[in-house]
Amino acid sequence: MNAPAVLVDDVSKKFRMYHEQNNSLKSMLMRGRRSIHDDFWALNNISFEVPSGSTFGLIGKNGSGKSTLLKCLARILQPESGTITANGRQASLLEVGSGFHPELSGRENIFLNGSILGMSKKEVTRKFDEIVAFSGVEKFIDQPVKNYSSGMYVRLGFSVAVSVTPDILVVDEVLAVGDATFQKRCRNKFKEMKADGQTVILVSHSMNTVKEMCDQVAWLDAGKLRQTGPAEAVIKAYSATV
């Protein structure tokens, strides 16, 4: 049997919620180095496998821990405990404009973002026209991206991310931004990636999108894994609670 694309094993992540801050030198000296805080567990003993070559969905209400888990998958955050093992080259698109410099043009950011994702200048040059065509921002490619709309940001970022030809692509709500034409391009691209044996992990609040795109789904609730399994069964269970 093939090894899973991603193995999440007993992962927990906490954040400190501070009740008071040392806003002055006097308050800092009075309190010393003590801080008054609670530990908020955004993820609590999460374990599941993402099969290779699948499209895997993460669902749950706002605040359920989905974004925290994606950031752990992308190595932006380090879990308190547990491990995440990714088998293959990974690219992540977690927020609008991630990896872009606002003062640089779309053209310059393609080369910058491509290098961050591990592509050589020669490789980016070879794929440049394809990236721009997929994003649909040809007319604005030499304008600073600070003037782009959020939709243009995401389209260009997604286009660069998929051009890396990653074994694993992690995306957060990319289909929620952009017009119907771009959403259709994304769906078709995900299908192409799956046919090529690549793995996609995505977060979406649209159950129709998840049902259409995903083979398996993990349902997070208040930092805990409620259910994982075939998409239709998990979506049905989740929808019954909403």
The pLDDT of residue 175 is above 90: no
* pLDDT on residue 174: 64
Percent of the chain at pLDDT exceeding 90: 41
- Cα distance between residue 151 and residue 100, in whole Å: 14
The pLDDT of residue 37 is above 80: no
* pLDDT on residue 27: 59
The pLDDT of residue 22 is above 80: no
Summarised one tens digit per residue, pLDDT across range 87-145 is 988 888 776 556 788 899 999 999 998 888 778 899 999 999 999 998 888 999 999 99
pLDDT (mean) for 187-193 = 84
* pLDDT on residue 135: 86
* pLDDT on residue 115: 86
CA of 153: how far to CAs of 99, 101, 112, 175, in Å?
A: 11, 11, 14, 13
* pLDDT on residue 33: 57
Domains detected in the chain: 6-239 (3.40.50.300)
* pLDDT on residue 231: 93
Mean pLDDT score of the chain: 85
Q: Is 75 exposed, middle or buried (0-12, 13-18, 19+ CB in 10 A)?
A: exposed
* pLDDT on residue 97: 59
* pLDDT on residue 30: 59
The pLDDT of residue 32 is above 80: no
Summarised one tens digit per residue, pLDDT across range 214-234 is 999 999 999 999 999 999 999
Residue type (1 letter), 239: S
* pLDDT on residue 28: 56
pTM: 0.79
* pLDDT on residue 181: 79
* pLDDT on residue 232: 92
Backbone angles phi, psi at 201, to 5 degrees: -115, 120
Which one, of 72, 83, 64, 94, lies nearest residue 225 by Cα?
A: 64
